[in-house]
Structure 1
Amino acid sequence: MKSFKNYMPSFLYGFSFCILLLFLLQQGILFFSIDKDQKSNENILTFQKIEDMYNLILDTYYEPVDTAELLNSMLETMLNNVDFHTTYIPYQDHLRQSEEMSGNFYGIGIQFSLFKDTIVVVRVLPDGPAQSTPLLAGDRITHVDGKEITGPNIKNELVLNTLRGDKGTNVKLTILNSSKEIKEISLNRGEIPLHSISSSYFINPNIGYIKIDKFSSTTYSEFIDHTNNLINKGAEKLILDLRGNTGGYLDQAVAITEELLEKGLGIVSVKGQYRNEIIYKSNYNGQLSNFPLVVIIDEGSASASEILAGAIQDNGRGEIVGRPSFGKGLVGEEFSLGDGSVLRLTVARYFTPSGRCIQKEMENDYNYSYDTSNYEDYFLNNIDSTKIFKTLDGDTVFGGGGIYPDYFIQPEFMSNSVSSFFTENLDKIDELTFQFIDLNRARYSSTKEGFENLIIDNKNNLISMISSDLDEYDNFSNIEKDEIYLQLEVLTARNFLSTKEFVYFVNNNDSAYLKSINLLNSEL
């Protein structure tokens, strides 16, 4: 017979699980036909079986079971028969995601990398708590509050959880600097902004460039600040880069789109089985409504990014350049499950102003083909050519398969031999490029000019490091070696430059970016 002590955890977890199931039923999340008594009784019996199985596992399994892990797996299994955008998010994961989307967190203000099982400071962030301390790029953090934080078990998540904390709380760091001196640094955690716009800059003679990485709660206000700055510098045209932007908050995407449109134009409509239709339109002439505009997208542009790009394309407002977008035409909402965890549930579809839903059908997987001979055909096959729509200026667009660009830019790929070289040796190459930066960090500023000087002065040293540690390098042809070096430059720049400077560096040789400039200079 169970003792009361042993029975209570089982009862509480089982009871909580049943409460969760009842909540899901009330929200219309479980698609059971509960109007019929027979079906309702079957569902109740099924819930009872789930609880019985859970109790049996806890009480009779041959070894201890992690109850939290078991419950999480049950919740995740429940979602196998709905779209994969509907997900259960445990408390800790949701906490981290909420920080990312809120636009700030409390920490010490550094960008770090893990190198040889040690935290290495890559950059001290401006205006953060660490800026007023002796902490410098290249320093190794060995202890936090007296506790060693090195070794093979150290992971990014552990570092983040250790360095972040409540506002104003004190943290003591032990560091090993480039001179092999051990120092103690004490500082208080402060607010660290998480910018959703990673880069913006002015391009002569009159073009502004803005890259939006996600649509967080601060994106619209960031966008206004960046555009005002560009206008003050003389910008009269705009490139909006949404590549790799997987989406975010709908209201932020709508607000930015409104700044790009004239009054009265459609932006998006949203409708679901349990959601009344909501139609979003521009309520005023946007600040940038008269700016010639190019939006750059790729297969990583999804959801809110596609809403913005779709509104621009359907209203004939600007040109879309790049590669077809991801194809997520669904809207999700988060439902709290009481313990900090949430259910992110798909509740509606959205439709662009022309009336199309760009959702890629579920049977079409989301793994993209990288065969240069059929890359464009792959996306065309995902478009539903039976669903034909017209943009405001009369162009034909299709439903399904994402947003197809007005100007398709073929992706640039490494040769198979060079791709294999990087795939097989990526960890070692990362280590070598990091060592290269470490050896030269003190002599060059972390600006694009500093990076250019670093590469000019030390190109042969970088190649020598790769050649010495990776024997197969010497077997490549000169053309392949040139290709390898270009990739080494990018890897080095990623670890040396700020995000803004890195975006500028990569864009200089980017086909979609250069095409966008040419279009704007040719007066769209």
Structure 2
Amino acid sequence: MTKNNPTNFSKHKKYLPLWVGLALAIGVFIGSKFNFGDKTEKIFATSSKKDKLNRLIDYIDYEYVDNVNTDSIVDVTVNGILENLDPHSVYIPKKSYAHTADDMRGAFTGIGVSFYIYKDTIAVIRSITGGPAEKAGIKGGDRILFADGKKLFGELINRDSISSYLKGEINSKVTLDVYRPSEKKTLDITVRRNKVPLISVDASYKITEDLGYIKLNRFSETTYKEFEGALKKLKRDGVSKLVLDLRDNPGGYISTAERVVDEFLENNKLILITKNKSGDINKTYASRRGEFHHAKIYVLINENSASASEIVAGALQDNDKGIIVGRRSFGKGLVQREMSLGDGSAVRLTIARYYTPTGRSIQRPYGNGNDNYYSDYEKRYRNGELIHLDSIKVADSLKYTTPKGKVVYGGGGIIPDVFVPKDTSVENETLQYVSKSGFMSYFIFEYLEKNRAQFERMNFEEFRNNYQADDSLSTEFIEYARLNEAQIDLSNYTEELKRLLKANIAQQLYGPNEFELILNEADPMLLKVLELEAATNSSSKEE
């Protein structure tokens, strides 16, 4: 304990008026910053926009006459704010975040099955190749009745609750009661949960002896690794040319797109330019000689190829690498960053614009609102650009030139080098719809329920060469889908319908690669690629 020292007090006493005066001066200065004529609320509001929103939510929480879920109000408010920015700045609610994150990571932790809710029961379509369920012996057609004793069938069952029981911590175990109709018995199967990939490479195979094919459905964290593996295998198999199918690919991570492009460009070739709010410019270059930098490449795009897909197509086109085949792409040239909002939700906020190597922006105008922006497909349909190349409207002010002198345009998507029109007939549109909606897939599942034994000892090559969907199957589907009642005449599309049915059977029995392989046998864009190849080979022989 320190004793008082009268001598020290006397020593500092003469400075006391100085300290008091200084304190009063500071107090007057601080006081001058407050307007004490205002009400108390205004003093502490600091007039910030954030405080205004916070205060409104508090008023509703504590003062509003009825009970209100203010969480939903916040969601609506955030969405309203973002809608006034641009079409690609979006809010991800807490309940959607896990699924969205899995989609971008390219994997989730679970047992690895694709399934339907069939007659109020989980019916396995197929176990994912290499996944935990396949290793444990779960087969297509199996019914999962219980998970660790929890009933998973009945009228009240829904897909979200099912997923919560089948997913779980990595290496955790779940015991399933599985009924196998083909053997008319119930099995107890224990599955150890593990990472299950969300496959980015839908298909990878040889079209001809030297021409390979890879289809990417997204650009997630795992896409490049999958792509690299597929590319190396094709190269080992003698492929020296590649078709990269980016149709209906909505995009994903820019960094993944850059790594994919890097495989086809020589070192130091420009891949991408980004520019942020401050005007800071960042340029990305090819970092090495890619595996396929000498190879010939065709890139397939359509009106649903967006974002990272357009980065790939634009970088290759602007570097005079490869041939872009198809229809004008979506037109998204904005860069988003995901930011957490602290409660399990997040926002993807546009932070920059990107430009292709020639300096063109391919972002479509969005000043007339989101509804107008997303109805662009209808406008393209009406103005005929899905059918005729010369219907695509381009502005001379947005004209750019590649190093070899090819003219390219900005202002709304990547315009292909070789145009392939879309079949816009009602019959074809109907076929595409019923195939993509899952309706045909559901029909095929019911077909396999009755005929699965027919395919049990048939490998894919045997199926591909020997099985044909006959008239009776296509007629049965038309009746099942009630297309005859809708008076849709599919007489000119009989072969297309049969091919779709066969492809869907292949998907459920063998997987997505086999689905694409069968579907692509008569694909107009791939037939155009083969036509270009034949013309090139013929020209080379003449020379």
TM-score (norm 1): 0.83
Cα distance change, pair 375–86 in 1 and its aligned pair in 2 (3 A): same
1:186/1:288 CA distance change after superposition, 3 Å: same
Q: Does 1:303 align with 2:303?
A: no
What secondary structure does 2:250 align onto?
coil
1:406: which partner in 2?
A: 417
Aligned length: 484
More deviation, 47-56/98-107: 47-56
The residue aligned with 1:98 is: 101
Change (3 A) 1:89 1:243: same
By how many angstroms is 1:495 displaced?
4.0
Matched with 1:437 is 448
Aligned to 2:25: none
Partner of 2:15: none
- Pair 406,429 (structure 1): closer, same or farther in 2 beyond 3 Å: closer
**1:425-451 CA distance string (max 9 Å, x none):** x78765433211221123215854465
**Which residue number in structure 2 is paired with residue 120 of structure 1?**
123
User: Which residue in the other structure is 1:218 paired with?
Assistant: 222
Aligned-residue offset at 1:462: 5.2
8 Å CA contact 1:451, 1:497 repeated in 2: no
Cα deviation, residue 522, structure 1:
3.6
Is 1:472 the equivalent of 2:484? Answer: yes
Secondary structure of the residue aligned to 2:522 is: coil
Contact 1:320/1:406, CA 8 A, preserved across alignment:
yes
Which of these residues, 344, 350, 359, is aligned with residue 355 of structure 1? 359
Partners in 2 of 1:321 and 1:43 — Cα distance?
57
Residue 308 of structure 1 deviates from its aligned partner by 0.9
1:366 to 358, 365, 374: 374
Deviations 1:200-248 (A, max 9, x none): 1122221111111111222222222111111111111111111121111
Specify the alignment match of 2:527 in structure 1: 514
| TM-fit CA distance, 1:91 | 3.0
Structure 1 residue 503, shift from structure 2 partner? 1.1
User: Deviations 1:133-170 (Å, cap 9, x if unpaired)?
Assistant: 34210011222222222344444333333211111112
Q: Does 1:339 align with 2:343?
A: yes
Query: Do residues 271 (structure 1) and 275 (structure 2) align?
Result: yes
Secondary structure (helix, strand or coil) at the match of 2:315 reads helix
Q: TM-score, normalised by structure 2?
A: 0.80
CA contact (8 A) 1:351 1:358 kept: yes
Match of 2:468 in 1: 456
1:396 partnered with 2:394? no
User: Structure 1 residues 376, 281: closer, same or farther in 2, change over 3 A?
Assistant: farther
**What are the ranges of 5 or more consecutive residues in structure 1 without an aligned counterpart?**
1-40
Residue of structure 2 in register with 1:148 after alignment = 151
Change (3 A) 1:372 1:459: farther
Deviation, structure 1 residue 49:
4.0
Q: What letter is aligned with 1:320?
A: I
Query: Structure 1, residues 294-342: CA drift from partner, whole Å, max 9, x if none?
Result: 1111112111111110011111111000111110011111122223322
Instruction: State the SS of the aligned residue for 1:523.
Output: helix
Structure with larger Rg: 2
Mapped partners of 1:457, 1:208: distance in 2: 27
Determine the C-alpha separation between the residues in 2 that align with 1:242 and 1:462.
30
Indicate conservation of the 8 Å contact 1:88/1:344, yes or no.
Answer: yes
CA distance in 2, matches of 1:440, 1:453: 18
Shift of 1:481: 6.9
- Residue type of the partner of 1:106? T
Match of 1:320, SS state, is: strand
CA offset digits 1:163-207 (Å, max 9, x no partner): 111111121222222144233322221122223222111222211
Aligned partner (choices 430, 437, 452) of residue 419 of structure 1: 430
Q: What is the CA-CA distance between 1:291 and the residue it aligns to?
A: 0.4
Separation in 1 of the partners of 2:408 and 2:86? 25
- Say yes or no: does 1:109 pair with 2:117: no
Partner in structure 1 of residue 252 of structure 2: 248
Q: Deviations 1:43-97 (Å, cap 9, x if unpaired)?
A: 8265444334323322344543223322222222221210021012123422222
Kept in 2, the 8 Å contact 1:444–1:454? The answer is no
Q: Which residue of 1 aligns with 2:242?
A: 238
CA contact (8 A) 2:387 2:422 kept: no
Q: Matches of 2:113 and 2:242 in 1, distance apart?
A: 31
